[in-house]
Each structure stands twice: as structure tokens, then as C-alpha cells.
Amino acid sequence: MISPISCPALLVSAPASGQGKTLATAALARAWRNRGLIVRAFKCGPDFLDPMILQKATDLPVYNLDLAMCGESDGQLRLYQAAQEADVIIVEGVMGLYDGTPSSADIAERYGLPVLLALDASGMAQTFGALACGLLAYRPALTPAGVLANKVGSAGHAKLLETSLPAHLSWFGALPRDEAYALPERHLGLFRAAEIEDLDARIEAAAIALAASGELALPPAVTFEKPPLENLPLLLQGKTIAIARDEAFCFIYPANLDCLTTMGAKLVYFSPLHDKTLPEADAYWLPGGYPELHLAQISGNAEMRKALQAAFDLQKPILAECGGMMALAESIQSASMDAQAAFGLLPGKCHMHSKLQGLGVLQIELPIANLEQGTLGAHTFHYGSFETSLPGMASAKTRFGKSESLYRHGSIFASFLHFYFASNPHVAAQLFLP
């Protein structure tokens, strides 16, 4: 019998988006790390950008927890594995505590994670305690961990906030209102961690300020059970998969990399922006990112265009997700400039819009001739559209009714979807096989 394992853990949530959850989570994680503790961080939902910030704070990979996209047993396994090495586990929620289906509250309840609220306290005094108490009491099954105040005006303001809390809610300190901590944003969310040159200094300054405002005691220990494990077949044994990774192609779940290597694949990396050749590989994967911000480099890299075309002509499997699909199209037209040529492997043109074109977590069925029948968890979040004559070979709808298609063109699988391979490794492997 596999023994459960216990580790101090909590989930950081808020009343809404924009309350400073990512900064609060990163600052608290770094403050604990500065005390010599091993801190493992997670992110609720399918986000790519917040985990990059949390990885900078902890210096360890950050995995996603999502009951719909990843599945309950996947989250249970990730937390169990983290508890084996961590002194404390910190999970950043998504949106407000009860927003979404499933919500951060659903994840906290499913895995027994105590909830820490990060509240924007600007313009607030004693109501701070009432808001915290009401939010956490709304679902009695939740375990309260405490409250952290963000955008605090002064030490006196922080004291007012702290004394407003009832005895059962612990004070996890205050972050002053300071532009030195601000995390810049763009249309898909926060900037990538690598784009914020002084990110480490920002996180460190926030951690020092937070540690100076409270004791920052560890949360209660949570017991994590190990789920039954499936022995994955080595479907990719002996295969080399080359993965695009640079400023334009950066949305990669660590769990996807783990899944591929567990099935026997060797992973190598290349840059469609900077490289002139492709590494020798059996299959290629262009994940999502920001091709629309690097159109001149994509359009001007004729050598990479020829290399991708050669791989396509050899019928090498190519998976293109979201930004990867856009880059393989004939052209991309951004909101601020005329259309520029892309790599041109896919018949169709991409356009960037000022409003969101796709959002949601879904399950997509993949009924293709040489592909094992099954579903893959995925999510969509994009401002682009794809005008093409290609018929969709499969499609799925988000809960908002938006339909997303998967296209097959020769050896290319392309979609605005970001797939979570660990949700069905048997199916995911077939995307990389001829």
C-alpha cells in the first residue's frame, strides 16, 4: 500500500482578477524560500504566463492544476510528487475564488488546500476583515488559511487591516503600494518572465517587504494521497521531437514535456526566429506564443521557411498550436500593420483582432484514420482568427459556445487549441507519429 504524505500547503485566491494574486503568491513563495525552505508552486487553470513568474520566485518548475483540462488524478499526482520534496506548497488561484467551472474553490476543496485571500486593500479599512470573512464563509467546506493585504498605503493602514480580521483568520502580511513591484501586462496577460529584466529584483523587494510586515508562518499541513498510476507504453521510444522555444514560441506545459519523455521521446529545441536550420528529428512541435509581435523576424527568416517546408515535404509530423499555427499560415496581419508573410506551410491567413476570439477549457475528440480514438484536454485563449479553405477534421465547443477546429494538412496538425498531453498520453503520442 502506498502511504500518503503530508506537507504545509495553501491556495492563494482573491475576490476577482486584478487583485495582485500573482505578485502576492510570488512574494510569499520567495519569502519562504529566503528562509531556506523548498517551495513548490502551482497555478490553477490553463495559464502559461503566471507560472513563468512563479518559477522565477521558486527556481523550480510550476505545474497547472485544472479539474477540467488536466483531470483530478493528474492534479493529485502532481501535488503528491511535490509534497515528497517540498517544505511548503503554494497554489495560485485563477480569477476570483468562486469564478469559473471548476473554480479555485473547487480545486481547494478537492485537494484539501487551505485558502489564503490576497485582497486589494486600497481605499479600504475595517471592511477588509468583513470581506475576507464573508468570502471564506460562503462555502463552509473550505478551510481558511488567512489573509494577505495588497496595495497598502502605510504601516498604520496595514495595522487597521490586520486588527479587522477575526481570530480564526491569520495575518499573512501586507504589500505596500509600490510601482517597484508592478508586473507589466499585455493582451494575453502578464509579460513573459524573460521580458521583465529586473523581475528577480521586483520579486525579492516584494518578498522583503512582505516578510517585514508579518510573521509569515507556514500554513497547516495537508495530506496528499497518491493516485493509482498507469504504466505508460513507450509509444515514442527512439523518437526525437524538436520543439520551438524562443520569444515567440513559449507556451509549453512542463507536464507535456514530462509526458513525452515518459513515453520514450528525446526532446531537442530550436528557435524559428533565430535559427536557420532545423535540428534532425522525427517530429516537430510549434507551441503557442507571440508570433504577432515578431512578424519581421518570421517574414525575414527565409532559411527557416525552407527548412520547415523540407520537413513537411518529408512528411515529418508537425504539431502547430495557436501561435504555432499562425506562424505556419501564409500571412499574419496584426492590428497595427499590414499583413506580413509567415512560413507558408498552411493554406490560410491569420488576422489579429482587438477583441478576444476564443476562450475556454474543452475536451476535443480526435477521430482520425491513424489516430487512436479518444479525447484530449485543451484550452483556447487567443485574439487571432484563421481564414482557410481547409476543412476542420475535428472540433469542440467551449462552454461559451465558441467552436474551435483542428485542421489536418499533410503531416501537419494545427489548431488554436493548446493541448494537455497528460490528459490522454495514448492519443497525444499519435500526434507525433507518421
Cα 401 to Cα 356, 358, 360, 377, distances in angstroms: 14, 10, 10, 17
Of the residues 250, 259, 322, 350, only one is catalytic, namely: 322
Q: Which of 219, 282, 266, 242 is nearest to 32 (CA)?
A: 219
Verify whether residue 133 is a known catalytic residue: no
Residue 287 near residue 243, CB atoms below 8 Å: yes
User: CB neighbours of 294 closer than 8 A, spacing ≥ 6?
Assistant: 247, 248, 273
For residue 363, what are the β-bridge partners? 377
Question: Phi, psi (5° rounding) for residue 63?
Answer: -105, 160
One-letter amino acid for residue 189 of the chain:
G
Q: Which of 257, 227, 196 is nearest to 63 (CA)?
A: 257
User: CB neighbours of 36 closer than 8 A, spacing ≥ 6?
Assistant: none
Cβ-based burial of 71 (10 A; exposed 0-12, middle 13-18, buried ≥19): middle
Cα 395 to Cα 13, 362, 366, distances in angstroms: 33, 10, 9
CA distance 260 to 303: 28
**Residue 80 CB neighbours (<10 A):** 19
Q: Which residues are catalytic?
A: 322
